[in-house]
Amino acid sequence: MAFFRYEPIVIRMNRTIVLIFLLFSCCATQIFAQRRDVDFGLLLGTAQYNGDVNMTKAYTSPQLAAEFMFRKNFNPHYSLRLNLAVGTLKANDENFKYEYQQLRDYYFDDTKLMEFSGMVEFNFFEVTTNKKEKNFSPYTVFGLGIIYNENIPLKESLTIPMGLGLKYKIHPRLELRTEWTFRKTYTDKLDQLAYQANDGFLQYKQISFKKTKDWFSILGISLLFNFSDEKIPCPIYEPKSFEKRRR
C-alpha cells in the first residue's frame, strides 16, 4: 500500500522535472541558434540553507550542488545567463547555541531542490577574448528563478538570485570562475517545519516563524567554454589599420 501512496508524488515530481528540462532546452536552443558569442559551462560546489533553523550563519552544513549554464554575451560588460541548478539542503538545531533551538532539537537533511533561472551578468571590468590585458574581472548577477520541491506549491516557487563572482580568461575560449549566489525565496517550507505543526503535542508550540521566508545559496567553481563561430584574431597575422584602409 505504501507504493500506491507515494506513487502520485513521484509522478508529479517526474512531470515537473520534464517540464523544467524542456523549458531550459527551448531557451538554450534559441540562444544557440544565433551561434555568436555563446558560452556553455558547469559549476560544481555546495548549497547552504538560511531560515528558521539557520538564522545567522551564511555558510553552514554545506551540501553538494551543481549548475548547468548557458550564457549569451552582448558586450564586454553585459551578458544574459540561463541556469539549471540542483542541490540538497540540510540544517540542525544542535549546531546553534540558542536555548530555543536546543529545546526544539529539530533537523532536516533531505530537501532536494531544482531551480531554473535567468540572470543578467555584469562585469565591472571589460572582459574580451582577444586582449590579454582584459581577461579578469569581478562581476555581479541578478535575476529571477523558479524552484521545484515536492513540498513547495507553485505559488511559492519564485526565487530572486543575486550574487558576486570573479572570472579569469585562462584561454580565449575558456573561462574560470568562482561565484556565490544567494536566492531569496517566497516559501517557508525549505526546512519542512510547517508540515510538523499539527503532529501530536507540537500543535500547541511555536516551532517556526510564520512571517519569515527561507533563503538558500550556492557557492562553487565553474568553467565556461565559448562556442562563438567567429575566428579569434591572432595579434601577429591580424591586418594593421592601414592595411584595412587600403583594402
Query: How would you label 29-53 residue by residue, b for 16+ Cβ within 10 Å and e otherwise?
Result: eebeeeeebbbbbebebbbbbbbbb
Residues of the chain with pLDDT under 50: 1-11, 13, 32, 35, 195, 197-198, 200-201, 204, 233, 235-238, 241-242
Query: How would you label 60-84 residue by residue, b for 16+ Cβ within 10 Å and e otherwise?
Result: bbbbebbbbbbbbbeeeeebbbbbb
Strands (E), 152-245: 158-171, 174-185, 215-226
Q: Map out the domains of the chain with their CATH numbers.
A: 2-246 (2.40.160.20)
pLDDT in tens, 88-137: 999 998 888 888 878 888 888 889 999 999 999 999 999 887 667 788 99
Question: Between the CA of residue 217 and those of 49, 115, 160, 179, 200, what are the distances in Å?
Answer: 7, 12, 11, 10, 33
pLDDT at site 36: 61
pLDDT in tens, 185-208: 999 889 887 545 445 445 545 566
pTM value > 0.85: no
